[in-house]
Amino acid sequence: MNFDFSDDQKMLKEQAHKFLSEKCTTKVVRGAYDSGAGYDAALWKAIADLGWLGTAIPEEFGGLGLGYLELCVIAEELGRALAPVPFSSTVYQFAESILAAGSDEQKQRLLPKIASGELIGCLARGEGAGAILPKNIRASFRNGKLSGKKTPVADGGIADYAVVLARSSDEPGERGLQLVLVDLKQNGVKRREVETVDPSRGYAELTFENANAEALGKAGEAWSTVSRVLDRAAILMAFEQVGGADMCLKMAKAYAMERYAFGRPIASFQAIKHKLADMYVNTELARSNAYYGAWALSTGARELPLAAAAARISATQAFDYAAKENIQTHGGIGFTWEADVHFYYKRARQLSLALGPIRVWKDKLVTELELSNAA
């Protein structure tokens, strides 16, 4: 079993790294913070022009039809650069929901627009405080009309369309749930910005008041569809987190090598060495789990839910640890606005909650391990 990427995929990774090094500078990230727009429109257009948005979208629907492995290597570089774009919401979640549950007409109508960058999408699941469980979903979909509130929704403030998890019948639990597709530009939709630690990726509260909506997939299958979409998103986001953690290690090492104290670089001090070594070990462990997830994702292996949970947990922990220790290695300057290290810490914290709290994924991992052992 070969978990390495092909030469073509490695070349794509190098090209993505070069492009983002030139186009996604610290100035761009800071600009996204200052503008309040929630993303950088120029960078989003440039990424769309490269075809990255359609990497895993089949050619018949306007995409490149390359596959998930290519999407994984792009995701890692986006995470390394802290790209302020709605890539994960549109590609990992919205597009995957359309591919998983959409009709041929819906796919033909929406996927080409995603691939070209014309459409920004999001997935709206939660309804505020409390766990996202079937019994807690109160948004209602009846007779083509959607009512209710969803918050927080990643990139909900800038999205054109949303896939919404709603209740379409009085059937208990999962059986009464339905995925619906909603145009967010209509009068029946209200948006309110939700402040988070990372303004370069915006969140919003979406309120629906008899908004026009259409069913996406079959009633009663919404929960299982969302679970599959989140498994895929967890693996792709794990690559983002690995990229971010790797960059934190690089920044900490570079600073430790050039910062002198008591006549020698602080990288020679044992305490700093231990920090850097632990960052490296955690990041490589996360990378291994992400590679396993990439294999499961690209082959449709039955181990996908297990691999997704493992990748999600290890990558979240690695990025969080690396971001904190990067600040500590920089010392007092690491806590200042002028230093860039806080951008990685904020992104690490935001990504740790983007697909649900880590405890949910730990419970999922235990469950999948028990099922695997039972089999």
Tens of pLDDT, residue by residue, the chain (375 residues)? 566 888 999 999 999 999 999 999 999 999 999 988 889 999 999 999 999 999 999 999 999 999 999 999 999 999 999 999 999 999 999 999 999 999 999 999 999 999 999 999 999 999 987 778 898 899 999 999 999 999 999 999 999 999 999 999 988 889 999 999 999 999 999 999 999 999 999 999 999 999 999 999 999 999 999 999 999 999 999 999 999 999 999 999 999 999 998 999 999 999 999 999 999 999 999 999 999 999 999 999 999 999 999 999 999 999 999 999 999 999 989 889 889 999 999 999 999 999 998 999 999 999 999 988 887
Backbone dihedral region for residue 144 (phi beyond 0: left; psi -120 to 50: alpha; all else: beta): left
In a domain, 347, yes or no: yes
Residues 228 and 210 both lie in one domain:
no
Place of tokens 């033909």: 108
Q: Are strands 161-167 and 121-124 parallel, antiparallel or unpaired?
A: parallel
Q: Is residue 30 part of a domain?
A: yes
pLDDT number for residue 2: 64
**In terms of domains, do 241 and 305 share one?**
yes
Q: Which helix (H) or strand (E) holds 261?
A: strand 260-261
Angle (nearest 5°) at CA 367 between 357 and 90? 45
Could you tell me if residue 211 is inside a domain? yes
> Distance of CA 77 to CAs 24, 61, 118, 245, Å?
11, 25, 22, 11
Domain boundary, last residue among 187, 203, 218: 218
- Domain residues for the domain of 305 are 223-374
Contacts of 83 (CB under 8 A, 6+ apart): 20, 24, 40, 43, 47
Residue 310 inside a domain? The answer is yes
Q: Which helix (H) or strand (E) holds 197?
A: none
Report the CATH number that the domain containing residue 40 is assigned in CATH: 1.10.540.10
Is residue 214 domain-shared with residue 227, that is, in the same domain?
no
Residues 177 and 262 reside in one and the same domain: no
- For residues 211 and 230, membership in a common domain is answered with no
Tell me, what CATH number does 350's domain have?
1.20.140.10
Last residue of a domain, one of 194, 218, 242: 218
Asked if 136 and 237 sit in the same domain, the reply is: no
Last residue of a domain, one of 88, 110, 138: 88
Q: Which residues pair with 205 in a beta bridge?
A: 192
CATH number of the domain enclosing 196: 2.40.110.10
Q: Which residues pair with 354 in a beta bridge?
A: 356
Q: Check whether the bond before 357 is cis (ω within 30° of 0).
A: no
CB atoms within 10 A of CB 31: 16
The token duo for 174 is 């999962």
**Residue 33: partners with Cβ closer than 8 Å, 6 or more residues away:** 199, 200
Give residue 1's pLDDT: 57
Residue 182 forms part of a structural domain: yes
Strands (E) in 86-233, as ranges, are: 121-124, 140-142, 145-154, 161-167, 177-183, 189-194, 203-216
Residues 227 and 364 in one domain: yes
Residues 27 and 80 occupy one common structural domain: yes
Residues 360, 230 share a domain:
yes
What is the pairing mode between strands 264-265 and 260-261? antiparallel
Angstrom CA distances, 251 to 76, 240, 273, 323, 328, stand at: 16, 17, 14, 10, 12
Asked whether residue 348 is domain-assigned, the answer is yes
Query: 129 and 79 in one domain?
Result: no
Joined together, the tokens standing for residue 198 give 């990372």
Specify whether 333 is located in the same domain as 230. yes
Same domain assignment for residues 236 and 341: yes
Read off the pTM. 0.95
What is the distance between the alpha carbons of residues 95 and 233, in angstroms, rounded to a whole number? Answer: 11
The reply to whether 326 falls in a domain is: yes
The answer as to whether 106 is a domain residue is no
Residues 158/37, Cβ–Cβ less than 8 Å: yes
**Predicted local distance difference test score (pLDDT) of residue 3:** 65
Number of domains within the chain: 3
